[in-house]
A = this chain, B = another copy of it.
Amino acid sequence: MERLFTPGPVELPERVRGVLGRQIIHHRTEEFKNAFLEVRELFKRLLESPSENFVFFASSGTGAMEAAILNFFKEGDRVLVVNGGKFGERWMLLARHWGLEVIEYKLPLGKSADPDRIREMLREKPCKGVLFQISETSTGAFHPYKDIGKVCREFDTLCVADAITALGVYHIKPEEDNIDVIVGGSQKALLLPPGLSVIWFSERARQNLTDRAFYFSVSKELKKQVEGQTAWTPAISLILALKESLSMLLEETMPKVEKRHRLISEGTLQAVRVMGLEPFAENPAISVSAISSDQSEKIRKELLKLGIRVAGGQEELKGKIFRISHMGVDPKDALMLIGVLEVVLKKLGFPVELGSGVKAFSQRLLEGGLW
């Protein structure tokens, strides 16, 4: 069996698989309603917010991104898009598709957004929203969401964060962090198969709700979902399984979840440096590590031969980076990956001393107090 270290889908925990393999229940039942309301309570605890302003969709994450554009913006609205890779690009495509005016904050691949630059740009041209990724999955770059949130608050600007590979990784507290819209997807750190997405929004964002969407209508869904139902048929199995995965995150507690991802990320990058490779992102996201190498496709293939799947680069980054996901990963498995990577690099002729990467990794975890 292949082991996945890909930035979505991530491997499903046993507890989640147990639910997915069960016989289905009907969604117009007390049983589903109670489970769904419980999932909503757990989700509130995840974000440490009592707000009911969030809905789930039966769709992939892109669907919830579209929902953000359709529900909170009107044709002609001007938005600033942080474009530092494939998913920043997706915000641009979506915003333009639905008739928004896009001011592009284009970043070299691997670079992180500079909040001061966003402030300048907003001063120059006021925008109704700033759209960005907390973790730009295509480059492994982190965009400093708290600082971007603060800048948005200085202006009359909605802070719209694609958290598809950040929710369930970072300890996001939207009210404290000044985020107005958060978009998430199931197959990332929410530890489920793809097919469920979520959108959370502030009261400030709610004032801007439009009725432009049909399937992705936030207001239609919200009305139903606060009562444990949905406007359209929900992804029943994924909602039920989400109860397990959210419980797992909350049992670990979000500060510890973030710490785990941070230490695994730092340990992995430290190990990679010891092995002579370099991180691609200037300021790496802790959900996924992108690593530069013009041998990346060879490395990926050799890892696959030993049963480990990591992701390659997309589009212009193909053949230039490979990407290791830390989402939902147990530290022991992260160590295993480093050990196998040592073997693979050695086989490919890299001057790697076996054990050196693992040593660096374990040291970081011990220092950090995770081990």
A contact set with B: CB distance below 8 Å: 1-2, 4, 6, 8-9, 11-12, 17-18, 20-29, 57-63, 66, 93-94, 97-98, 185, 187, 193-196, 214-216, 232-238, 309, 311
Chain B, residue nearest A18 (CB):
B21
Contact assessment for A214 and B93 in the assembled complex, using a CB-CB cutoff below 8 Å:
yes
**A29 to B25, alpha carbons, bound, how many Å?**
32
**A366 to B210, alpha carbons, bound, how many Å?**
57
A43 → chain B, closest Cβ, in Å? 18
A281 → chain B, closest Cβ, in Å? 21
Copies of this polypeptide in the complex: 2
A233 → chain B, closest Cβ, in Å? 4
Contact assessment for B94 and A214 in the assembled complex, using a CB-CB cutoff below 8 Å:
yes
Chain B residue numbers with a CB within 8 Å of A2 are 25-26
**A125 to B2, alpha carbons, bound, how many Å?**
59
Contact assessment for B27 and A22 in the assembled complex, using a CB-CB cutoff below 8 Å:
no
A35 → chain B, closest Cβ, in Å? 14
**Which DSSP category, helix, strand, loop or mixed, fits chain A's interface?**
loop
**A223 to B123, alpha carbons, bound, how many Å?**
42
Within the complex, which residue of B6, B62, B195, B309 is in contact with A195, where a contact is CB–CB below 8 Å? B195
Within the complex, which residue of B9, B26, B28, B63 is in contact with A59, where a contact is CB–CB below 8 Å? B63
Chain B residue numbers with a CB within 8 Å of A9 are 24-27, 233, 236
Chain B residue numbers with a CB within 8 Å of A311 are 28
Within the complex, which residue of B29, B214, B233, B237 is in contact with A98, where a contact is CB–CB below 8 Å? B214
A56 → chain B, closest Cβ, in Å? 11
Chain B residue numbers with a CB within 8 Å of A8 are 233
Contact assessment for A233 and B194 in the assembled complex, using a CB-CB cutoff below 8 Å:
yes
**A12 to B11, alpha carbons, bound, how many Å?**
23
Contact assessment for A12 and B6 in the assembled complex, using a CB-CB cutoff below 8 Å:
no
Chain B residue numbers with a CB within 8 Å of A6 are 26, 28
**A366 to B193, alpha carbons, bound, how many Å?**
44
**A29 to B27, alpha carbons, bound, how many Å?**
33
Contact assessment for B20 and A237 in the assembled complex, using a CB-CB cutoff below 8 Å:
yes
The 6 lowest CB-CB distance pairs between A and B, nearest first, are A21-B21, A195-B235, A60-B233, A193-B237, A62-B232, A195-B195
Contact assessment for B236 and A193 in the assembled complex, using a CB-CB cutoff below 8 Å:
yes
Contact assessment for B194 and A234 in the assembled complex, using a CB-CB cutoff below 8 Å:
yes
Chain B, residue nearest A96 (CB):
B214
**A/B interface sample: 11 pairs, CB < 8 A:** A9-B27, A12-B24, A20-B20, A21-B22, A28-B311, A57-B59, A60-B232, A61-B232, A62-B215, A66-B215, A195-B195
Contacts A4-B26, A6-B26, A214-B98 hold; do A62 and B233 have CB atoms under 8 A apart? yes
Chain B residue numbers with a CB within 8 Å of A215 are 59, 62-63, 66, 216
**A22 to B9, alpha carbons, bound, how many Å?**
13
